[in-house]
Amino acid sequence: MSRVLHYDIELERVWIEFNYDPQCVDVVKSLPNREYDPSRKQWWIPTDDLEECLAILEPLSFSYSPVMRAFLSERPDQEVQSWTVGRLNRAANAALDAFFEEPIWVVAELSDYRKAARFKPAFFKLVERRDDDVVAQISAVSFWDARLRMWNTLRDAGVELDFADGVSVRMLGSLRVSKKGHLSFNILDIDPTYTIGAQQLQRERIFAQLVADGMAELNRQKQLPFLPFRIALITSDKSDAQADFLDEIQSSPYAFQVTAIDARVQGAQTESTVLAAFRYVARHPDRFDAVAVVRGGGSRTDLSNFDTMAIGQAVCMCPVKVLVGVGHQQDTCLLDMICESHKTPTATARALVDRAANSERRLLDANQRLAGRSQERLVRERQHLDTLLLRSRVAGERGIKNANARLNELAERIGRRGTAQAASATQRVGLATQSLDFAAKGALSRAAASLELLEVKLDGRDPKRVMERGFAIVTSQGKVLRSKTDVKPGAVIEIGLVDGEVRARVEDD
């Protein structure tokens, strides 16, 4: 129900129609000679005091019923020879009511919107844009009862809408001229579906342009590093979203390094502050393994603050993998379409923790496979040494046996050749026997020494044996450190000892 003045022809009085509003009640009670009819629950004013009453009611932007407009047009004004400003404004309102017989729907964009206190009117502008330029605008006002009506309309439609600059709306209202001569559009109600549809259309248009430019999949196709420990967190400082993200990260067993970059993720400053954050990341890509853009809950229309071409291009061209968690379970924004998307800040942090956990499992599996292969190699080498030793022993025994056979043959020959040559032959046989025995023993000794040396080398190459001698394996981010230049001050390193692993942080030189 709007604010309307009616004329009762039978009673020749004017009665006031309006929804309950403390401001209206206070103003009506101040009217001269006003009366209240409890049976009808209506306020009445006599026609004798009409001019003064209309002037008092003027700030509340009451409209006139058709009968009231007819009464005013026919009402004689013998005492006034010229028009007063108030009468002129009232005539303008009557003319507007006559031209616009019913409230009208206006499509526009909110501008200069400031939230008003309870029971106070909210003043703002409705603007028409063309290519981002304002081509038309009109002042607008929404009284407390109208705002209540709009909130109920939005609630019944299941739409969450925050009135803010840049929001496209379709509003019902009427034109009024204030007592100060300002023409304004008095808001009565809102179309809840128009704003959501306009935002979706804008988002789809921007995404289609990014696809046409070959940019839409650039960041989505990027892969997270093996250990994404250095995170750039883009969100409002000290917000619930920041707290939820950090709680999940800090409760993990991994040494994440989070750089918080303050940015407004709701409201009119979203685009400028988010773009500034991405410019910082682009200037220092070597400092980060991933970027997380998160925000807590909010209205569906607040998501449209991310639906700009500038933000879309910044995310697509970001040199670091971007993860987004804007805290909305059912609706999407442009970021969900162009980078890795998660529903909440906590879920975004959990994805990074899971990545680190998977990498840890892969490292442990690789370590186990390396240990197993090392053990297998050691067994094969020991088997090879055993084979060499056995061959050496067999060869030595065969050589001795052959030597004994030749000795027996020589003994027989010596016996046949006579006693004269026996001594000489016996001496040569003795020398040959000693030479063969020495050669066999030397071959066995060299084979045993080679076997022992090979065992020592293999045992010395065992990582466990190396660490037992006081050495350690130092890694950082999965890479083995071989020089102090491989790590920077402040970095977290992992030191592998014989009985486990410890973490340490590098101090300055």
How confident is the model over 317-346, as pLDDT tens digits? 999 999 999 866 556 788 888 999 998 899
What residue has token string 């909130």? 151
Residue 80: pLDDT band with limits 50, 70, 90: very low
Q: SS3 of 501, please?
A: strand
For 83-93, b/e burial (b = at least 16 CB within 10 A) is: eeeebebbeeb
CATH number for 104-190: choose from 3.50.50.60, 2.40.50.140, 2.60.120.620, 2.60.120.20.
2.40.50.140
Question: What is 215-343's CATH number?
Answer: 3.40.50
Complete edge-to-edge strand list for the sheet that includes strand 492-497 = 479-480, 473-476, 492-497, 500-505
Residue 175: pLDDT band with limits 50, 70, 90: very high
Q: What is the CA radius of gyration of the chain?
A: 47
- C-beta contacts of 503-506 below 8 A and 24+ residues apart: 503/255
What is the value of pTM for the model shown? 0.47
> Helix 50-57 and helix 22-29: axis angle, to 10°?
150
Range in 85-94, 302-311, 395-404, 444-453 the model is least confident about: 444-453
Q: SS3 of 41, please?
A: coil
What pLDDT score was predicted for residue 433? 67
Q: In sequence order, what are the residues at sequence separation of 6 or more whose Cβ sits closer than 8 angstroms to the Cβ of residue 147?
A: 116, 122
User: How far is the C-alpha of 89 from the C-alpha of 183, rounded, in Å?
Assistant: 10
What residue has token string 């038309």? 136
For residue 140, is pLDDT > 60? yes
Other Cβ atoms less than 10 A from the Cβ of 252: the count is 15
Please give the DSSP secondary-structure letter assigned to residue 143. -
Residue 40: pLDDT band with limits 50, 70, 90: confident
What pLDDT score was predicted for residue 251? 93
